[in-house]
Amino acid sequence: MSEKLLFDRIDEPGLATLAVYERRGGYESLKRALKMPREEVLQNLLDSGLRGRGGAGFAMGKKVSFLPRGAIDKYLVCNADESEPGTFKDRELMQKSPHMLVEGMIIAAYAAGANRSFVYIRGEYRQQAEILDRAIAEAAAACYLGERILGSDHTLSLVLHRGAGAYICGEETGLLDSLEGKRGNPRLKPPFPANQGLYQGPTLINNVETLATVPTIIRMGGAEYAKLGTETSTGTKLVSVSGNVQRPGNYEIELGVPSREIIYGLAGGPERGRDVKLWFPGGSSSPVLTRDDLDLPYDFDSMAKAGSMLGSGAIIVVDDSVAVVDVALKLAKFYRHESCGKCTPCREGTNWTVKMLQRIESGEATPMDLDIIASVQDQIMGNCLCVLGDAMAMPIASMVAKFRGEFEQHIERRREQLGLGVPTAPTPLEAAGAFAEAGS
């Protein structure tokens, strides 16, 4: 298996303290980075090919380079909201090795020329926030934070900000609004946060894992780091495996390993006698894959090619004992709850998708409802300020497309149970098709 960069001896007692972290070579990367010119640090990030670990997979170095140069107030925000269902890697990282994140943030802020930084941690992570807060205080006491860090010209403040429970605040612009003390409604893009973010200033926003990887990149050198993984998905990645597997948990893998090795090799696969029915490769927002896709290499491009995405690296495995309708309904309800309500397609689309799925659940639906569900998802996609609506539309649409037979069977079985009988011919589905043809 691959080298452990983030999870190397992560359970060592006291790693959350400065003393142990420093004894293990902590903050050496910072000292090294501060001796380099900013451009060289940035070049290392670019060379590393590190792609954002939060979900979008955008190249981190490129994101840093988008920030305008010059002596203006710039901000670095670490997105520790981690509320994508199935994702729990940042939690383990912050809880066990908080200094790795702090060090990464100081280096990233140096590369970006930011002098104020914030960690937006989800409100539910109270224990992790306490640990991280202690680590920040320790780092500040050791002069790793503050004015002219270690005698360089780099000045940085770091404030831990606790959220209060809202999935949408993991979306970068929603997060910024929330950090500014408002309701966490996403903003229209452009302007992108790199130009106008927090307090209208240029802002770099990165996920916890992305920032925690930065010290490793400086230690190894960007080009050396890029040798890990595949050509376009470099490095190692923390994957959170959960659901119907025997050993759920976080695993650090080198990008590009076969998915089967993660799900079966590391996480133990479903229980004996069960088989994988579907799996989410990158959190609940990613289009589902089936057991036929298990041999795909686990990296950004392979997942995209298979019509899904690597997302946050959260693999949720659903075995064949579970009805796909239940999974769809559970997810749709979640997105309905979390939609901030700003954009109509998302607010109404999530609500009506739940209603239609409930109809299917209760047997009051006809197969036509499946087409309507699919068309609603289609109309949500790309029509909102942020991707929360898309985050529901993608998995639901893929479930309806890949498991249509099961949905139809479910409808028929429930209708039978209720004594409603089979829908008479021509089915509403055919009627809809005929109408569409006549209309065109």
Partner 1 sequence: MSALSGGRGSELAGDVARYGHGSRIPGWDDACDLTKDPAGIPDPALTPVPAELRARIEAAMSRYPDFRSAAIPALHAAQELHGWCSPEAIEQVACVMRLTPAYLTAVATFYDMLETKPVGRDTVYVCTNISCSLRGADKLYAAMQEAAGDDPELNVRAFECLGACDIAPMASVNGAYVGPLELADAGRIVAQLRAGEDVLPDKQLLRRACADPGAAGSDAAATVGTDSVDPGAPTLFDDESQDPSA
Does residue 418 interact with partner 1 by CB under 8 A? Answer: no
Residue 46 CB, nearest approach to partner 1 (Å): 29
191: preceding bond cis by omega (within 30 degrees): yes
User: Which C-beta is closer to partner 1: that of 42 or that of 360?
Assistant: 360
Does residue 326 interact with partner 1 by CB under 8 A? Answer: yes
Residues 259-318 that bind partner 1 (CB under 8 A): 264-266, 268, 284, 314, 316, 318
Contact letters for partner 1, residues 365-404 (x by CB under 8 A): ----------------------------------------
Residue 34 CB, nearest approach to partner 1 (Å): 24
Does residue 409 interact with partner 1 by CB under 8 A? Answer: no
Among 440, 337, 321, 329, which residue's Cα sits nearest to residue 395? Answer: 329
Considering only the stretches 44-52, 161-169, 205-213, 373-381, report the one whose residues sit in contact with partner 1 under the rule CB under 8 A: 161-169
Contact letters for partner 1, residues 67-86 (x by CB under 8 A): ------x--------xxxxx
Considering only the stretches 92-100, 146-154, 363-371, 416-424, report the one whose residues sit in contact with partner 1 under the rule CB under 8 A: 92-100
DSSP 226-285: TTSB-SSSBSEEEEEEEES-SS-EEEEEETTSBHHIIIIIIT--SPTT--EEEEESSSTT
Residue 427 CB, nearest approach to partner 1 (Å): 26
Does residue 87 interact with partner 1 by CB under 8 A? Answer: yes
Residues in the chain: 440
- Rounded to whole angstroms, the Cα distance separating 131 from 246 reads 29
Among 271, 272, 250, which residue's Cα sits nearest to residue 262? Answer: 250
User: Do residues 360 and 399 touch, judged by C-beta distance below 8 A?
Assistant: no
Instruction: List 239's β-bridge partners, or say none.
Output: 251
Considering only the stretches 32-40, 145-153, 258-266, 286-294, report the one whose residues sit in contact with partner 1 under the rule CB under 8 A: 258-266
Considering only the stretches 21-29, 139-147, 178-186, 374-382, report the one whose residues sit in contact with partner 1 under the rule CB under 8 A: 178-186
Kindly determine how many residues on this chain lie close enough to bind partner 1 according to the rule CB under 8 A: 84
Alpha-helical (H) ranges within 53-154 are: 60-65, 89-96, 98-112, 126-141
- Rounded to whole angstroms, the Cα distance separating 89 from 322 reads 25
- Rounded to whole angstroms, the Cα distance separating 278 from 395 reads 11
190: preceding bond cis by omega (within 30 degrees): yes
User: Which C-beta is closer to partner 1: that of 107 or that of 158?
Assistant: 158
DSSP 338-385: H--S-SHHHHHHHHHHHHHHHHHHHT---HHHHHHHHHHHHHHTT-SS
Site for partner 1 (CB under 8 A): which residue of 333, 402, 404, 415?
A: 333
- Rounded to whole angstroms, the Cα distance separating 166 from 285 reads 16
Contact letters for partner 1, residues 181-220 (x by CB under 8 A): xxxx--------------x---------------------
Residues 12-41 that bind partner 1 (CB under 8 A): 13-16
- Rounded to whole angstroms, the Cα distance separating 157 from 307 reads 41
Residues 237-256 that bind partner 1 (CB under 8 A): 240, 242-244, 247-252
User: Do residues 225 and 48 touch, judged by C-beta distance below 8 A?
Assistant: yes
Considering only the stretches 29-37, 48-56, 328-336, 422-430, report the one whose residues sit in contact with partner 1 under the rule CB under 8 A: 328-336
Does residue 140 interact with partner 1 by CB under 8 A? Answer: no
User: Do residues 48 and 217 touch, judged by C-beta distance below 8 A?
Assistant: yes
User: Which C-beta is closer to partner 1: that of 264 or that of 429?
Assistant: 264
Tell me the helices (H) and strands (E) count for the chain, helix number first.
Answer: 18, 9
Site for partner 1 (CB under 8 A): which residue of 103, 338, 369, 390?
A: 338
